[in-house]
Amino acid sequence: MNFPGNLHHLLDLSGQTALVSGGASGIGAASARLLALAGARIVLADVDAEGMSDTAARIIAGGGWCHTVPTDVRDMEACEAAARFCLESSGTPSILVNSAGLIVRQDSLELSEEAWDLALDVCLKGAWLLSRAVLPHMITAGKGSIVHIGSGWSLKGGPRAVSYCAAKGGLLNMTRAMAIDHGPQGIRVNCLCPGDTDTPLLWSEQQQLGQPLAEFRAEASHRPLGRMGTADDIARAVLFLCSPMASWISGTHLLVDGGGLA
């Protein structure tokens, strides 16, 4: 079988710049590290300056290129500033990974208006704002890949997570709409939907629910492949969607959950 170039070429991101929100920890940090390993210049956008510094240090120690920009994705001006910083420090962003997120484990009666707004603002509005800030640069370049980090709960409901399910469900349909709008401009938009993944966000759920750790871990691991995911599992799927391997994939979702929703 003859491939155009070679297999390395199909995952090569050399010369590209990736802006990664939520890059201080978890899926965002793992994705940034792997994209850097594939050759991309990385700009991390997060409110956690210390966490971003740790991620950046690991990327640079591995021979990669990384800058950080403090960014509250709920704020339009902050997102626009992050896009400008990316352009000026590292080059036109051709990759955007919207990984910033949080979860509030409460049902509709428990949830306050403020907690609802926070979840929707970070998980859904933030992805739109950062995309809105980056899209003009991608349009000028005539190419780009945007990956929104959704959830298995983008596809189905979950208990005591009404704001998170609303935000992640909205993120999936926003993906489809953005792909339709910007496909003619050479921009691909996809939604990656992880199952339970061993990250600080998952363990914040355990603390909020007050569930015994062993019981929570067993539930998170209860799926055909017999374990919860790792941040690196999800990062590999991010790399695939950003790479030439996925050049004709847009407007869809990729479920990475060990068979949990099978």
- Residues labelled catalytic: 164
DSSP helix/strand/coil, 200:
helix
> How far is the C-alpha of 99 from the C-alpha of 149, rounded, in Å?
5
Q: With the C-alpha atoms ordered 180, 146, 117, 168, is the resulting torsion angle positive or negative?
A: positive
Please report where in the chains the tokens 């399910």 appear, as a residue: 165
CA distance 111 to 163: 8
Helix residue ranges, H only, the chain: 7-10, 26-37, 49-61, 76-90, 113-120, 126-141, 162-182, 200-209, 213-221, 231-242
Residue 259 has a CB neighbour count (10 Å cut-off) of 11
